[in-house]
Amino acid sequence: MKDIYILGIESSCDETSCAIVKNGCEEIATVISSQIDIHKNYGGVVPEIASRQHVKNVTMVIEECLTKANMKMEEVTAIAVTYGPGLIGSLLIGLEAAKTLAYLYKKPLIPVHHIAGHIYANNLVKPMRFPLLALVISGGHTELVYMEDHLKFEKLGGTLDDAVGECYDKVARVVGIPYPGGPAIDRMAEIGKHTYNLPIPLNDNSYNFSFSGLKSAVINLCHNEEQRGKEIIKEDLATSFQEVVVEIISKKVERAIKDKNIKYFITAGGVAANKGIRNELTRLCESAQIDYSFPAIKYCTDNAAMIAAAGYFYYLDNRISTIEINAKSSDILK
């Protein structure tokens, strides 16, 4: 069969990225331009600034990617792009760029769901096998997804309020760590010790999650300690907090693996970079004797390689769109 080269574009939040992936599994080139340093000054992503930055970056990122891949647009088979969910102004920039390229070079246009992208980041590690359970944990999402086969997504549960990454970032903010604080909390958790007792949120038999109560518990704890004239030991807070997150996530994953007779488990999204979560999920899969994978750290947070990898399977499934397609700030994974 002829090799299929998908050019992927991602701009759903604060990363402008372009990548070329061969046959859904082999990364040829990826370029990511991150805006973190700009948004850091505001304590989170400012949508208006994000879209303006995407406008500035998108052409450069695409050109740089083609140069890095040593390829011409003519050699690309199809163009995959994140159409949603995400920040509408940000999505529109990547989508317009993809539409323009598709129109000019007469290439099929493939709109990819952002979460499908995160999941397919794992196909860049090794071929995904089914029935599969995907844990998607990022700044905007916390979902357990069952897949019987490629592109057959069934959501088992998700967060009822905050996403887990959002919770990490808010806890970090309480102790004065700049956005996005998740990675710093992860590093601190390694050196701290269990000191503070925090509630285990939504400790029930559903596949749903809730993180806003945990966030409030951390805020209250910090205020109470301050009122008592005591200083919070940040590393110990990080350890105590991460232990609760790891416990609730692994408990629900473990049950889904049993209930659904899962043979393959994957984790995806920015928080999949978390060491504590990776260690516990690895232990769990090894004791359940099932195969598993985590994306490479650079493909955990938003990137276009994951969109191009997913785009390959969308292409095989003929999920091709006209250039009339619009961006969607929210949309279910289907």
Residue 159 engages ligand KG4 in binding (rule: CB under 6 A): no
Q: Identify whether the C-beta of residue 68 lies closer than 8 Å to the C-beta of residue 7.
A: no
Sign of CA dihedral 275, 277, 279, 285: negative
Rounded Cα distance, 132 and 300, in Å: 18
Nearer Cβ to Zn ion, position 38 or 222? 38
| 288-317 residues near Zn ion, rule: CB under 5 A | 302
Rounded Cα distance, 5 and 24, in Å: 8
Residue 14's binding partner, choosing from ligand KG4, Zn ion, none, with beta-carbon cut-off 5 to 8 A by kind? none
Give which of 300, 325, 273, 310 is closest to 116, Cα–Cα. Answer: 310
CB of 186 to ligand KG4, least distance (A): 4
Could you please report the per-residue DSSP string of 291-324?
EEE---GGGTSS-HHHHHHHHHHHHHTT--B-TT
Rounded Cα distance, 310 and 25, in Å: 9
Binding mask 278-297 for ligand KG4 (x = CB under 6 A): --------------------
Given the rule CB under 6 A, which of 210-218, 223-231, 253-261, 265-273 is the region that contacts ligand KG4? 265-273
Nearer Cβ to ligand KG4, position 169 or 243? 169
Tokens describing residue 238: 């990080």
Nearer Cβ to ligand KG4, position 239 or 274? 274
Bridge partners (DSSP) listed for residue 18:
9, 31
| 119-148 residues near ligand KG4, rule: CB under 6 A | 138-140
Give the position of tokens 């069969």. Answer: 1
CB of 71 to ligand KG4, least distance (A): 26
Q: Which residue is nearest to ligand KG4 (CB)?
A: 270
Applying CB under 5 A, what is the total number of residues that bind Zn ion? 2
Rounded Cα distance, 271 and 301, in Å: 8
Bridge partners (DSSP) listed for residue 79:
7, 109
Tokens describing residue 52: 């303006």
Residue 271 engages ligand KG4 in binding (rule: CB under 6 A): yes
| Parallel/antiparallel/unpaired status of strands 142-147 and 291-293 | unpaired
Binding mask 17-56 for ligand KG4 (x = CB under 6 A): ----------------------------------------
CB of 79 to ligand KG4, least distance (A): 21
Given the rule CB under 6 A, which of 18-26, 178-186, 247-255, 314-322 is the region that contacts ligand KG4? 178-186
Interaction site with Zn ion (CB under 5 A): 138, 302
Interface ranges with ligand KG4 (CB under 6 A)? 13, 138-140, 165, 168-169, 180, 182-183, 186, 269-271, 273-274, 301-302
